[in-house]
Amino acid sequence: MKKLALTCVLFFGISIASYACDAAREGLRLEVETFGKFESAKEMFEAWEAWVDVAC
pLDDT at 40: 66
- SS3 percent helix, strand, coil of the chain, rounded to 5, is 90, 0, 10
- Alpha-carbon gap, residue 46 to 19, rounded angstroms: 20
This model's pTM is above 0.75 = no
Q: What are the pLDDT digits (tens) for 6-55?
A: 777 777 766 777 777 777 777 777 666 666 555 666 676 777 777 777 76
Residue ranges per structural domain of the chain: 2-55
